[in-house]
Structures are given as structure tokens and as C-alpha cells.
Structure 1
Amino acid sequence: MQRQSEGAPRNRTDIHTLEAVALAATHSAAMASHAWVGRHDKDAADAAATDAIRQVLADAPGRGTVIIGEGEKDEAPMLYNGETLGNGLGPDFDIAVDPLEGTKFCAKNLPGALATIAFAESGSLWSPGPGFYMDKIVVPPQAKDVVDLTDSPERTLHKVAQALGKPVSELRVVIMDKPRHQKLIARVLQAGAAVHTPAEGDVGGSLEVLLPTGNADLLLGIGGTPEGVMTAAAVRGLGGGMLGRLAPQRDAEADAIRAAGMDLDRIYSCDELVSGDAFFVATGISGGSLLSQPRESDGTVLAESLLISSGQVRHISHTTFGSLPRMAGLPS
């Protein structure tokens, strides 16, 4: 149920009046962090993106609450959980945000860095509390009813392959290249599937699974809870399937989750992670198969964004006069 406050009438369509704000926020973050592409300072890039998003959201026509922000688990710059933004003259809404997904990609000038955000009706985004990590499965719509997070990787591969009408040997699986995934990657390879192992960026990996133009069939493994909730907004919009379960990576995190009264064995569906009307936005920073990096052309700056909402995928081109932001003190 959406919170009510004084001002304009609230209804389920209100959230979509904020799409332009979300696009402006990720575009601003992409422009700010682009100056740090290839400079091997991921925290500075993250801080630039965070400041840019916060400035845009401060003037949003409504009252947004950050339900889940990125950065706390890494002690990086962040929009903090519970932070409120906006001018109050519009709908209340929930925010899940990662101003710079793929900080290492940005720092090392590798493809895949994105500015990402999701807006949802007030009260509809799941809060992970002190949980920073979650185990996830993301699949396209054809396989959404067959997956179970308690299945073995081999059984999951078999069921997804059957749902997609292809042999396991033709499946393309995204699993982040982390030490915690070594055994999972080995089992998936042994089962015959191909594995794409990005260093980070499970939102981008999930989009490769969900989008018709994507290059993957399934995402498995443990990633961040902020990325999980934002992914769920995209999954909900595109009719895909997703399951998640808290997966603490340190004893202190597990103890905090239990102290908060949360069940480490509970499996959350996509509709539990995002229970109301929502949309997801991403803007490209360092390029890649999903979105191009911002670039200059004939006195203008071109950038690309993706908006996923209510069964629709929109690719948006931003064209502004001028040049890309540059770091102070560096030659033009």
C-alpha cells in the first residue's frame, strides 16, 4: 500500500511520472563517473556517481526513500538506507540504487560499468536489513516456473534447458568470477553448459538473461542485495523469473541478520522482493553489449539508457550540447 501524504492525489500510475527523474539521475551519474574511466580509482568514480544521483533526486517531485543503497558492505560512497530525497510535491516512492555498478570496470576502462536505479510504489521494495549478500537465480520468462533455489546446479540446468527447448550444452550461464563460486563454476562446466564469468556486475549479467537481445540463459550465484532488488524490478517488468535467499559472507553479517529476526533459509520470490508497481533504469558508463559509453560527436555528447517498465523495454538516447566532463587539472 502506498503511503499517503498531503499534495497531489496518489494512484498506481504515479510512479511512472518519475521515469524522467530516474533517467536524469542515472544519466548524471554516468556523466560524472565517466571522467574517472581508466583512472584506477574506483572509490572516486563511485563518489562522483553517488553525488550526481543525490543532487538530481534532491529535486525529485515527490518523496523518495532509499530502501536499499549500494556501498555499505564495502564502506564505499553511498546513498544510505532510510535516506529521504525529493521536494515532497508528488508521490511517495521507494528507491533501490547502485550509482556505479561495476566500479572495477570503470576504474580499469573495461566494458560493463552502469549507473542503475529502480523506483517502486512506496512500501513495495523488500528491505534486506543488515544482509549485504544474497544467492540468486535469474531466468527468462519461459523458465520462470521451473526453478527452485534448493535444486542442485545440475538439476537447475536440466530444468531450464528443457523449458527453453535446448540441450544443456547450449546453455549460457552467468556466474561472477569470485572465489566463492569456484565449485559452482566447475559443476556447471562439468554439466556441459558454457559459463560467462564477469568480475562483477550481476545486474548487467541478469539483463543479459532477461532481454531478448541478451547473450545468456541463466544467472546463478551470490551477489549483493542492492543488485538483487534492482534486478527484481527488471525481472518483474519483463515477466522473467527470480528467486533469492540471504547468503551472508561473514559471521558478523549472519549474526546481524538473525538478530534482526530474519530467516537465513527463507527463499524470496521476485514478487516478494518487489511487490508493487516499479521500473528500472540503467545508463552506460564504460560501454559493452548492453549500452554504449558516453561519447562526443560534433559538439554534442551522446549517451544511452535502458528503461524497463510494465512489459516494455525502451532504449533512450541522450543528446546534449557540450563536451564530456573532465577532471580538473588535466589537459583537455
Structure 2
Amino acid sequence: MSPQSSPFSPTTVVGAQNYPAELVAAVVRATEAAASACLPLVGSGDKNAADELAVAAMRNALGLAPFDGTVVIGEGEKDEAPMLANGERLGTGAGPACDVAVDPLDGTRLAAENLPGAVAVIALAPRGSMFDPRDVFYMQKLIAGPAGIGVLDVRAAPAQNATRLAEALGKPLDELVIGVLDKPRHASLIAELSHLGVRVHRVAEGDVSIAIAAATPASGIDAVMGTGGTPEGIIAACAVRSLGGFMQGRMAPQSESQRAAAVSAGHDLTRVFTLDELVASDRVLFVSTPVT
């Protein structure tokens, strides 16, 4: 079965002006290598095998890239999937010193079941500018386009944020579209938004793709609400910052053991992270290549 088309086809590159052309080209090759490597397993039902192929291909390609990269976000820890390890050094060592956030296959189940939305993604920022969320694998996120700046607050009730955004966009609530991961933890969120009359766009998984859509005016998605992966949140923050959008995040452990580990590691679970705190530089590069 051939892969379904993706709204991100062909490769999306945001922030190319911030880095040398040869480095941008190398990063594009790395996402395309990851996407191509796992294509034979699209629809196979084996998400870990597809992820392994994508990880290996991306690691090999980034090893040849002209930069001094350190992996800050190596997606995979929370579900024990294959991953590029946090702290891993990448590149030839010649060129810009960068923090690296990667997800060789965001939407592993989507790829395994041949559903739209799986992508291979890489984000770069200057060394020391990416927030390192180690020990906390989940984050509550609120993401929108430029209209959300100065309007939305992750601490406010979903209905309040939806009403504020609709007013800022100049549209009725029943035309507002909010993306939410279709997970049991979001049952009350979906119910609250639906009761308000908001159109809820449910996605099975794929935090990064829906975040980019929310930050892009006229994409059809006005905002993203709910809890998803923290690693994907940092990757998304790079794209959202490049696109001039709005984002806030708050650590959201999903069990008592996760909460205890986060507190023990020194995290303040009440802290609201702004976009500037999630990635503290305008010099970001975001590259996404569709798999499905």
C-alpha cells in the first residue's frame, strides 16, 4: 500500500536564512533520509521497526553535516522507542555550534498504520538556547498563530482561551477550529470545547504537525490545546518561533511516579514557559519531511 499524501509535502524548511546554505542542505538531506528509510515499513504495523530505520538514517546523515551539534531533544525516552540520545554529538565539528532537537519519525503509529501526518523533523538553534526538559516527558501546550500573542494564557480555562482567540481572529466560536490529541486524558477538554460550539479537530498523534498548522495563519487550525510530548513541544517551539506564532507550555507529569521524579529533579510544575524560554533565540532552523 502506498503512503497517503501529506499537507507538508514537499519538505518544509523554516529559518533557512539563519544558517549557511550547506548546513541547511545537509539537514534537509537528513530528514529526507529518515523519511525514505522507513517508507518500506509504512503500513506494516511495526512502528518500532520503522522508527529504528528512521533513527539510523538520520544519525548517519547528520554525522556528515557541517556543524558542531549536540542533541538536546532526542525523542523516544517516554515510550522506550529508538532514539538519538540526549547529549549525543553530531556533525563534522566544523561550523556553527548548535543545540539539536530531532524526531526521526513523529507519528510512529500513523506510519505503521499508513495514516496521514507522520513526519521526520529536525530543529537547530544556537548552543545553549533550547530548554532541556529531561525528567519530564509530557507538557501542557497552548499554541496559535500571531493572533494569540498577548491574548492567550495556558493557565486560563479552555473556554476562556477559545473565546478570546475567536474575538482576536474576528470569527464566531462555531468557526473556530482547535486541534486536540485524541487521548483519554483530553475527554473533559474536548467536551468543554464542544459544548462551547468550537469545532474540535482530533488527531490520533503527531504533536509537531498539528502545532505547525496552528502557528500558520489560514492553515485551517486556529490553535492547539492539551497535553502532549515535551520533546515534541521543544521541536514545535522552534517552528512556532520561526513562524512568528504564540506558544506557552507547562510541565504535565501523567502519573505520581513521573510527578515525583520531576519534583526530585528540581522542576517547578507550576511554571509557565513562554516561547522565548522554550527556545531562547530567533536563529532557529526547522525542517520537516513527510512520511505519510
Q: TM-score, normalised by structure 1?
A: 0.81
One of 203, 224, 233 as aligned partner of 2:208: 203
Q: Which residue identity lines up with residue 211 of structure 2 in the other structure? A: S
* Aligned-partner SS, 1:64: strand
* CA pair 13-168 structure 1, distance change in 2 beyond 3 A: closer
Query: Identity over the aligned pairs, expressed in percent?
Result: 48
In structure 1, the residue matched to 2:279 is 274
The residue correspondences of 1:230-245 to structure 2 (distance < 5 A) are 230-245=235-250
**1:89 alignment counterpart:** 94
The one of 102, 123, 141 equivalent to 2:128 is 123
- Deviations along 1:61-98, one digit per CA (max 9) or x if unpaired, are 12100001111100000011111111111121011111
For 2:289 and 2:277, locate their aligned partners in 1 and report how far apart those are by CA, in whole Å.
Answer: 26
Q: Are the structure 2 counterparts of residues 13 and 140 from structure 1 closer, same or farther at C-alpha, using a change threshold of 3 Å?
A: closer
Number of the residue aligned with 1:177: 182
Corresponding position of 1:326: none
- What secondary structure does 1:35 align onto? helix
1:245-324 matches, cutoff 5 A: 245-276=250-281, 277-286=283-292
Paired residue secondary structure (1:127): coil
* Distance 1:38-1:269 versus aligned 2 partners, 3 A rule: same
Quote the RMSD (CA, aligned, Å). Answer: 1.3
Work out which structure has the larger RCO, using CA pairs closer than 8 Å and 6 or more positions apart in sequence.
2
Could you say which structure has the higher helix fraction? 2
Would the aligned equivalents of 1:15 and 1:121 in 2 still touch at CA under 8 Å?
no
Aligned-pair CA distance for 1:252: 2.0
8 Å contact kept, 2:67–2:94: yes
Say whether the 8 Å CA contact 1:142–1:164 is kept in structure 2.
Answer: yes
User: Distance in 1 between the 2:217 and 2:35 partners?
Assistant: 24
After superposition, the Cα gap between the structure-2 partners of 1:157 and 1:39, relative to the gap in structure 1 and judged at 3 Å, is: same
> Could you tell me whether the CA contact under 8 Å between 1:67 and 1:96 is conserved in 2?
yes
1:149-168 to 2 correspondences below 5 Å: 149-168=154-173
Shift of 1:118: 0.4
Equivalent position SS for 2:247: strand
1:103 corresponds in structure 2 to: 108
Q: Provide, for residues 103-146 of structure 1, a one-character-per-residue CA deviation record: whole Å limited to 9, x for no partner.
A: 11100111111001101111100000211000000011122210
Higher Cα Rg: structure 1 or 2? 1
Assess, with a 3 A threshold, how the Cα gap between structure 1 residues 175 and 61 changes in structure 2: closer, same or farther. same
Aligned pair in 2 of structure 1 residues 213, 22: CA closer, same or farther (>3 Å)?
farther
Q: What residue in structure 2 maps to residue 323 of structure 1?
A: none
Matched, 1:215 2:223: no
CA distance in 1, matches of 2:135, 2:65: 27
> Aligned partners of 2:290 and 2:67: how far apart in 1?
26
What's the TM-score once normalised by structure 2's chain length?
0.91
Tell me, in whole angstroms, the C-alpha distance in 2 between the residues paired with 1:89 and 1:173.
43
2:18 touches 2:284 (CA, 8 Å); kept in 1? no
CA–CA distance in 2 between the matches of 1:109 and 1:217?
Answer: 26
For 2:21 and 2:183, locate their aligned partners in 1 and report how far apart those are by CA, in whole Å: 36
Are 1:175 and 1:219, in contact at CA under 8 Å, matched by a contact in 2?
Answer: yes
**Aligned length, in residue pairs:** 275
Gaps of 5+ in 1: 1-11, 287-332
Distance (Å, rounded) in 1 between the aligned partners of 2:112 and 2:122: 20
Give 1:23 deviation, angstroms. 0.6
* Pairwise CA distance, 1:54: 0.3
